[in-house]
Structure 1
């Protein structure tokens, strides 16, 4: 059976790793690399995580993967001063985790989907991908746009499921410094300020040069999402001068995450459209965040495998 997965983030790769054991699996992604919001960027000699900063583990399924990645030095632990439980992150940047997961998976990058026609997916580059089962893992507003472009009729139940999933944006600033910071344990959460989070990538051990990542609060990001990003970054940096003196800043880059956090999610781990071999998965389903995205992909893959095995009997 041909299974096509849109999105090479945690959900898509989690699903692909299971399904590839039984079926022909192709993952397509519009980006230049895998990982989605598990993102790491180089700025000169600096390296910064600018999407997800860390994650926690609650489930046995996710813990099994993380234990394996710990032994391979792909993942490290992080004890934040403001949190009791251990957090995890990519030892050489968050993107190294999806890169490891994508090994031996057929992933095609720089492919932006444009339309679904029957059992065929079209991309802006003019390529066509046939499928028996399709898994969509991009943010739900992008799925809605794809369905609209495809002139696909969906049920009222489908429409309700889509409309119930909401996201908060986040503006991220990556700043190269000429001196180290004194941020406790390398990460600090702030309240009622433009900046909600500061991470020291140097202290985390993923950057050879002092470099910090700032994440704006949801309210500040929403208010300023369409504004001048450089000006917004300056405001964010000015608001945290007690941690990052202006004299220490060498340069910075800004990234706009339109769908940073699924603030309102579908209650179960994935969703199948009525009367269609099309599924939705990702951090908008189930518990959310990094672990939720992984579990969402895992559960939809297990469902498809179980169903296909029953049909084959």
Structure 2
């Protein structure tokens, strides 16, 4: 059976990891690389996680997987001073986790899907991919856009499910510094501030040069989402001068995450469009976050098998 998966983030790769053992599986992603918000980026001679910073583990299925990655030194633990429970992160950056999952999976990057015609997907580059079952793991607004571009009608129940899933944005800044910060445990969470989170990637252990990652609050991100990114980045860095003096900043980059957090989710781990061999998965389903995306893909894969 041909199974086509759109999105090489945690949900898509988690599903592909299981399904590829039994079926012909192809994963398409519009980006140059894989991982979605499990993103690590170079800045000068430094490295920074600029999407998801860490994750927690609650379920046995995810714990078994993470234990395996810990044994292979791909995942490490992180005890934040402001939190009691252990967090996990990619030892060489968060991107290493999806890259590890993608081993031996047929993943094709730079393929943006633009149209769905019955059992065929067409990409922006004009390539066509046929399927027996289709798994869409993009944020739901992007799924809606694809369905509308394809003039595909969905049922009122489908429409209600999609409408109920909401996301919050996040603007992220990564900056290369000429000296390390003095954050206790390498990370700081701020309340009632334009910045919700600051991480020192040097202290975290993924960068040989001091770099920091700033995540704006949801409110600040919503208010500034369509603004000039360079100016927004300057404003964000200026707001944390008490932690990061302007004199220590060598260069910075800014990124918009339009669908950073699924703030309102569908309760089940996945959803099948009525009367169609089209399945939706991702962090908009189940418990959300990194673990939720992994479990969403895993649960869907088991159901299809």
Structure 1 residues 3-18: aligned runs within 5 Å? 3-18=3-18
For each residue in 1:250-308, what CA deviation from the matched residue of structure 2 results, as whole angstroms up to 9, or x when unmatched? Answer: 11000000000000000110000000000000000000000000000001101100xxx
Q: Distance in 2 between matches of 1:167 and 1:153?
A: 23
2:48 counterpart residue number: 48
Deviation at 1:202, TM superposition (A): 0.2
1:311 counterpart residue number: none
1:78 counterpart residue number: 78
Other structure's SS at 1:110 match = coil
Structure 1 residues 169-248: aligned runs within 5 Å? 169-248=169-248
1:36 counterpart residue number: 36
1:278 counterpart residue number: 278
5+ unaligned residues in a row in structure 2: which ranges? none
4+ runs of 1 displaced by more than 6 Å?
A: none
5+ unaligned residues in a row in structure 1: which ranges? 306-313
Other structure's SS at 2:26 match = strand
Q: Distance in 2 between matches of 1:92 and 1:99?
A: 11
Q: Distance in 1 between matches of 2:284 and 2:264?
A: 7
Other structure's SS at 1:138 match = coil
* In the alignment, structure 1 residue 130 sits paired with structure 2 residue 130: yes
Other structure's SS at 1:275 match = coil
Deviation at 1:235, TM superposition (A): 1.1
For each residue in 1:140-184, what CA deviation from the matched residue of structure 2 results, as whole angstroms up to 9, or x when unmatched? Answer: 000000000000010000000001000000000000000110011
Q: Distance in 1 between matches of 2:196 and 2:74?
A: 27
Other structure's SS at 1:27 match = strand
1:308 counterpart residue number: none
Q: Distance in 2 between matches of 1:195 and 1:33?
A: 27
2:116 counterpart residue number: 116
Q: Given the two structures, how large is their TM-score scaled by the length of structure 1?
A: 0.97
Aligned length: 305
Q: Distance in 2 between matches of 1:247 and 1:264?
A: 40
Q: Distance in 1 between matches of 2:64 and 2:149?
A: 39
2:266 counterpart residue number: 266
1:253 counterpart residue number: 253
For each residue in 1:86-119, what CA deviation from the matched residue of structure 2 results, as whole angstroms up to 9, or x when unmatched? Answer: 0000000000000000000000000000011000
2:67 counterpart residue number: 67
Instruction: Tell me the C-alpha RMSD between the 2 structures.
Output: 0.4
Deviation at 1:65, TM superposition (A): 0.6
Deviation at 1:234, TM superposition (A): 1.0
2:160 counterpart residue number: 160
Q: Distance in 1 between matches of 2:138 and 2:222?
A: 20
1:310 counterpart residue number: none
For each residue in 1:53-78, what CA deviation from the matched residue of structure 2 results, as whole angstroms up to 9, or x when unmatched? Answer: 00000000000110000000000000
1:99 counterpart residue number: 99
Q: Distance in 1 between matches of 2:42 and 2:6?
A: 26
Deviation at 1:21, TM superposition (A): 1.0
Q: Given the two structures, how large is their TM-score scaled by the length of structure 2?
A: 1.00
